[in-house]
Amino acid sequence: MADLKLTLVVACALVDADKRVLIAQRPEGKALAGLWEFPGGKCEPGERPEHSLIRELHEELGIEVAEPCLAPLTFASYAYETFHLLMPLYICRRWEGMVTAREGQNLAWVRANKLRDYPMPPADIPLIPHLIDLLM
Ligand SMILES: Nc1nc2c([nH]c(=O)n2[C@H]2C[C@H](O)[C@@H](COP(=O)(O)OP(=O)(O)OP(=O)(O)O)O2)c(=O)[nH]1
């Protein structure tokens, strides 16, 4: 099989005091519309992944995250039709500001063992057991 373009996407499991995880619904009109994902986005060329993630969390959710509050948890590696996704998943339990849907996206705070009730992109499915192990 030919190699696909590797795309680096950085994502984060934000975890609240009740150990619930934040997921966001992908808007209509985008690839994978309607599926629930971890906040984050593509890493721009030349941008450090942690910096990308901090920028995305600010743009999408209006929160400020300090780099030491991001801990690596696991990663996704998945062959979509047109690219290969490599997605480090960080975990963050501390941030400043109120989580707000700044891009009009639906948000949900979900217990790890309920994540399977929310349809997620196929790349994300293997990440769920890691969150269950950590949080349940
Ligand atoms: N943020 C995020 N993206 C995910 C997850 N799982 C997953 O397959 N993805 C995919 C969906 C997109 O193809 C890509 C993230 O791209 P993005 O959200 O920054 O950009 P986008 O789809 O708006 O694409 P574009 O318009 O910038 O080309 O990674 C996830 O849990 N979180």
CATH number assigned to the domain comprising residue 51: 3.90.79.10
**CA–CA distance, 94 with 96 (Å, rounded to integer):** 7
Ligand 1 pocket by C-beta < 6 Å: which residues? Answer: 9, 11, 30-32, 37-38, 40-42, 85, 87, 121, 123-124
97 in any annotated domain: yes
pTM of structure? 0.96
128 in any annotated domain: yes
45-98 pLDDT per residue, tens:
999 999 999 999 999 999 999 999 999 999 999 999 999 999 999 999 999 999
Is the pLDDT at 2 greater than 90, yes or no? Answer: no
- Quote the number of domains for the chain: 1
**Residue range of the domain that includes 115:** 6-135
**CA–CA distance, 29 with 72 (Å, rounded to integer):** 31
- What number is the ipTM of this complex? 0.96
Q: Amino acid letter at 110? A: V
Would you say 18 and 96 are in contact if contact means Cβ atoms under 8 Å apart?
no
90-128 pLDDT per residue, tens:
999 999 999 999 999 999 999 999 999 999 999 999 999
8-35 pLDDT per residue, tens:
999 999 999 999 999 999 999 999 999 9
1 in any annotated domain: no
Of ligand 1's listed atoms, the one at least distance from the Cα of 78 is 8
Integer Rg of the chain from CA: 14
Distance 108 CA to ligand 1 centre (A): 17
